[in-house]
């Protein structure tokens, strides 16, 4: 064996002869304490960060959507409604499309009519019901900018509040008045006494002396009001003994 190898063996023996140290008695307890502390730290920090990262985007998205909805609704509610005028005693809802309907109720010659007191939505939305009672949105829209003297466009929709007949109905006289016709109703229909110049009825060719027997296939009867949701898009009249249908044309 060479000297070098002998020296190496000697060194190796010296090292192997060193007394081994042992870990202290509380060694394992110390390790477990550290593990517990690290675990607590991890449970406090990681999940919160992960949760924040995981839900930040969806939460922001929801907030953005919710915020825009709230803003949109507030704008609609605050700026687009005409407050009711008069005592609002007429128990109907009027549903209007964008850009349609009267622009100046107070200028109407029939402003004292009960129908003139119906609040009207001039909003930009598709439609909105304004009523003391219930309403129904039939989603009509129209580009017609006709000014209706009585403040409503009966061609759109009128809802008689959904109440039982007699309680929530509108009289045929009032309905026809909305399109400019003054009538005298009886059991057989409503006789036209006058047609207001420039009204939609005049444009449709309704004349004094006509007997209006039905509105949109609803037979007229002075003793019974019109209930439910209805429009006035055509009138059935009797003129000179002839029965004919007149469409309420747009101007």
Which residues would be at the binding site for other proteins (CB under 8 A)? 4, 7-8, 10-12, 14-16, 18-24, 27-28, 30-31, 34-35, 38
Task: Output the DSSP codes for 224-251.
Answer: B-B-SEE--SEEEEEETTEEEEEE----
Least distance to other proteins, CB of residue 75, Å: 55
- By C-beta, is 39 or 251 nearer to other proteins? 39
- By C-beta, is 19 or 242 nearer to other proteins? 19
| CA within 13 Å, CB half, 65 | 6
19-49 residues labelled b (16+ CB within 10 A) or e (exposed): eeeeeeeeeeeeeeeeeeeeeeeeeeeeeee
Query: CB atoms < 10 A from the CB of 153, how many?
Result: 29
Q: Which helix (H) or strand (E) holds 159?
A: strand 158-159
φ/ψ (deg, to 5) at 245: -115, 130
Least distance to other proteins, CB of residue 54, Å: 21
- By C-beta, is 37 or 65 nearer to other proteins? 37
Least distance to other proteins, CB of residue 1, Å: 14
Query: CB atoms < 10 A from the CB of 95, how many?
Result: 27
How would you list the strands of the sheet with 158-159, edge to edge?
128-130, 93-96, 158-159, 229-230
Least distance to other proteins, CB of residue 26, Å: 9
- By C-beta, is 4 or 89 nearer to other proteins? 4
Least distance to other proteins, CB of residue 37, Å: 9
- By C-beta, is 7 or 74 nearer to other proteins? 7
- By C-beta, is 30 or 198 nearer to other proteins? 30
Least distance to other proteins, CB of residue 41, Å: 11
């Amino acid at each position: 064996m060479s000297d070098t190898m002998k020296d190496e063996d000697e060194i190796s023996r010296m090292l192997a002869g060193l007394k081994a140290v042992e870990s202290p008695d509380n060694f394992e307890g110390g390790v477990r304490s550290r593990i517990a502390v690290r675990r607590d730290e991890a449970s406090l920090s990681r999940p919160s960060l992960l949760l924040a990262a995981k839900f930040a985007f969806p939460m922001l998205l929801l907030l953005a959507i919710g915020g825009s909805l709230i803003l949109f609704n507030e704008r609609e509610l605050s700026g687009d409604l005409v407050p009711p005028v008069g005592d609002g005693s007429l128990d109907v809802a009027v549903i209007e499309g964008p850009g349609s309907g009267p622009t100046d109720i107070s200028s109407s010659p029939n402003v004292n009519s009960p129908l003139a007191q119906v609040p009207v939505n001039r909003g930009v939305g598709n439609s909105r019901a304004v009523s003391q009672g219930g309403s129904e949105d039939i989603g009509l829209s129209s580009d017609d900018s006709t000014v209706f003297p009585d403040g409503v466009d009966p061609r759109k929709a009128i809802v008689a509040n959904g109440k039982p007949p007699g309680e929530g109905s509108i009289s045929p006289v009032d309905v026809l008045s909305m399109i400019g016709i003054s009538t005298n109703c009886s059991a057989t229909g409503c006789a036209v006494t006058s047609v207001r110049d420039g009204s939609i009825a005049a444009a449709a060719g309704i004349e004094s002396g006509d007997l209006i027997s039905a509105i949109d296939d609803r037979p007229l009867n002075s003793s019974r009001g019109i209930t439910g949701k209805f429009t006035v898009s055509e009138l059935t009249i009797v003129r000179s003994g002839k029965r004919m249908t007149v469409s309420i044309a747009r101007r």
